[in-house]
């Protein structure tokens, strides 16, 4: 079947709808409309160096890192338990992890709004136990909570898939050679599961750093992340140049983190979900 021409319609489609849009964004990020027409400028990128915007970038990265850390700490043991031999009905368990992932992320986020509200369920429950009320909706903690809730499955699944593929005889050999549980974990299991950990980190960090829905709904619009900033430039300030520059920066950030992760990934990254 030698029919490369069948891909040509899609090649045209890709040029129009994938490549040209990205070039346009790049173009807007380095030009400015003046009286003499379009001019090359780096002023949009320069504007980003303002402490206010740098702070937004740092906040986005820090919150995403915190979220990634929490996901790793919670998700690794979870994946390990699911992958362990004694745990049966794995298929159902995996299905149970996947289901919330397929649910619209807006709904998952909205669900937390109803829980965390001032008069919400969590607070009614707390006051029923005569515990102090918790007002964390519209704070950074709520944003991190929402991120962890949304992205935890992305951490669990790749780690699980790597852990369940580990050859059990390797572990037995280590035990026969006198390694205690901790040594076996540190020297055998963890290094072998590293590809999964790395793809988990990538898959949690990236959506976390680019989100604008979670921060808008659970952060109440006051904790601006880089996604919110981009949205604002296009939809309310109408400053396409700056918005495009921000998009380019975000793309670079993603590219860099992927590059870093790829360097650590072993040749056959068994953790990939695809």
Partner 1 sequence: MRFLKKAYVFLIFAVLYAPILVLIVFSFNESKSRGNWTGLTLKWYYELFKDRQIMSALYYTVLIAVVSSLVATIIGLAASIGIFSMKKLPQNIMLNINNIPILNPDIVTGISLMVLFIFSKLQLGFATLLLSHITFNIPYVILSILPKLKQMNKHLYEAALDLGATPFYAFRDVILPEILPGVITGFLLAFTLSLDDFVISFFTTGSGVSNLSIIVYSMARRGVSPKINALSTLMFVSVLLLLIIVNIRMSNDNSERRAKNGKYSKSYGSLSSPDHVA
Residues in 239-268 that interact with partner 1 by CB under 8 A: 240, 243-244, 247, 250-251, 254, 258
Q: In whole angstroms, what is the distance from residue 218 CA to residue 212 CA? A: 10
Rounded to the nearest whole angstrom, what is the least distance from the CB of residue 128 to partner 1 in the complex? 10
* Phi, psi for 219 (deg, rounded to 5): -95, -10
DSSP string across 169-227: HHHHHHHHTT--HHHHIIIIIHHHHHHHHHHHHHHHHHHHHH-SHHHHHHSTTSS--HH
| Residue nearer to partner 1 on the CB measure, 25 or 166 | 25
Contact range with partner 1 by CB under 8 A, out of 58-66, 72-80, 171-179, 184-192: 72-80
Contact range with partner 1 by CB under 8 A, out of 30-38, 64-72, 187-195, 199-207: 199-207
Per-residue mark of binding to partner 1, 205-244 (x: CB under 8 A): -xx--x-xx--xx---------x--xx--xx----x--xx
Q: In whole angstroms, what is the distance from residue 29 CA to residue 254 CA? A: 17
Residue 34 token pair = 């003046």
Residue 149 token pair = 């809730």
Q: In whole angstroms, what is the distance from residue 98 CA to residue 95 CA? A: 5
Per-residue mark of binding to partner 1, 108-147 (x: CB under 8 A): xxxxxxxx-x-xxx-xx-----------------------
Q: In whole angstroms, what is the distance from residue 124 CA to residue 173 CA? A: 53
| Residue nearer to partner 1 on the CB measure, 1 or 177 | 1
Contact range with partner 1 by CB under 8 A, out of 36-44, 81-89, 171-179, 262-270: 81-89
| Residue nearer to partner 1 on the CB measure, 58 or 98 | 98
| Residue nearer to partner 1 on the CB measure, 192 or 271 | 271
List residues bridging with 34 in a β-sheet: 37
């Amino acid at each position: 079947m030698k029919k490369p021409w069948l891909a040509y319609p899609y090649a045209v489609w890709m040029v129009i709808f994938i490549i040209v849009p990205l070039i346009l964004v790049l173009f807007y990020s380095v030009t400015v409309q003046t009286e003499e027409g379009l001019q090359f400028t780096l002023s949009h990128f320069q504007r980003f160096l303002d402490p206010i915007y740098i702070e937004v970038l740092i906040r986005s990265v820090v919150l995403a890192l915190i979220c990634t850390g929490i996901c790793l700490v919670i998700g690794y043991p979870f994946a390990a338990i699911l992958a362990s031999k004694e745990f049966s009905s794995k298929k159902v368990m995996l299905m149970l992890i996947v289901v919330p992932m397929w649910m619209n992320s807006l709904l998952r986020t909205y669900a937390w709004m109803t829980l965390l509200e001032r008069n919400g369920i969590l607070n009614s429950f707390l006051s029923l136990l005569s515990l102090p009320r918790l007002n964390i909706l519209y704070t950074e903690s709520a944003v991190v909570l929402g991120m962890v809730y949304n992205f935890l499955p992305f951490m669990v699944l790749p780690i699980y898939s790597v852990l369940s593929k580990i050859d059990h005889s390797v572990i037995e050999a280590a035990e026969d050679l006198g390694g205690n549980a901790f040594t076996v974990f540190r020297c055998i299991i963890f290094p072998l599961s590293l590809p999964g950990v790395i793809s988990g980190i990538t898959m949690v960090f990236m959506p976390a750093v680019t989100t604008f829905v979670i921060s808008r709904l659970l952060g109440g619009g006051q904790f601006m992340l880089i996604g919110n900033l981009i949205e604002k430039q296009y939809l309310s300030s109408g400053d396409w140049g700056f918005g495009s520059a921000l998009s380019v920066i975000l793309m670079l950030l993603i590219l860099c983190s992927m590059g870093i992760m790829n360097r650590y990934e072993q040749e056959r990254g068994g953790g990939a979900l695809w």
